[in-house]
Amino acid sequence: MKKILFVCLGNICRSPMAEFVMRDMVEKAGAGGGFLIASAATSAEETGNPVHHGTRKKLAEHGISTSGKYAVQLKRDDYGKYDLIIGMDDYNIRSMLRLFGGDPSGKVKKLLDFAGGGNIADPWYTGNFDETYDDVVRGCSALLDSLT
């Protein structure tokens, strides 16, 4: 069982998008049973809140529901619970390394590092969930390729 945790600042826009896109991809690849996929926030800002309507709307266009997902904050002991802990941007990576006190097992990655580098566009600031979705699909697709 491969355990993957996606991480962003608020856990309402980018990391839940990555969580549900990745779940959909592994299901469609017939590999759903081999994965545990979740997402969390580096901040407590949005804890308990549902997925942002922009992410929900974009995923609904692709037949993906985020029903039942509410923002949770990343905890120090999550480091031991997952095989891969994947941030959306450089700021998330710095926050995680601070919380975990480093990355002794080499689990902390940035999503677009699987697809040539860069940060996932942050729709909280741009309002552009299309661009974020394209980035997330590119990253998750490359991530899945790296695992299968």
Sheet (strand 2-8) strand order = 35-41, 2-8, 84-87, 108-110
Does 76 qualify as catalytic in the annotation? no
8 is catalytic: yes
Strand, coil or helix: what is 87?
Answer: strand
Closest CB 14 distance from ligand 4NP, rounded Å: 3
Q: What is the rounded CA–CA span in Å between residue 132 and residue 79? A: 26
How far is residue 123's CA from residue 12's CA, in Å, rounded to a whole number? 10
Q: How far apart are CA 107 and CA 97, in angstroms?
A: 10
Q: Which of 4, 5, 9, 21 binds ligand 4NP (CB under 6 A)?
A: 9
Interacting positions 16-75 with ligand 4NP (CB under 6 A): 45-46
Contact segment (CB under 6 A) with ligand 4NP among 10-18, 30-38, 58-66, 135-143 equals 10-18
Active-site residue among 24, 78, 89, 122? 122
In the complex, least distance from residue 40 CB atom to ligand 4NP, rounded to whole angstroms:
10
Binding footprint of ligand 4NP on the chain (CB under 6 A): 8-14, 45-46, 122, 124
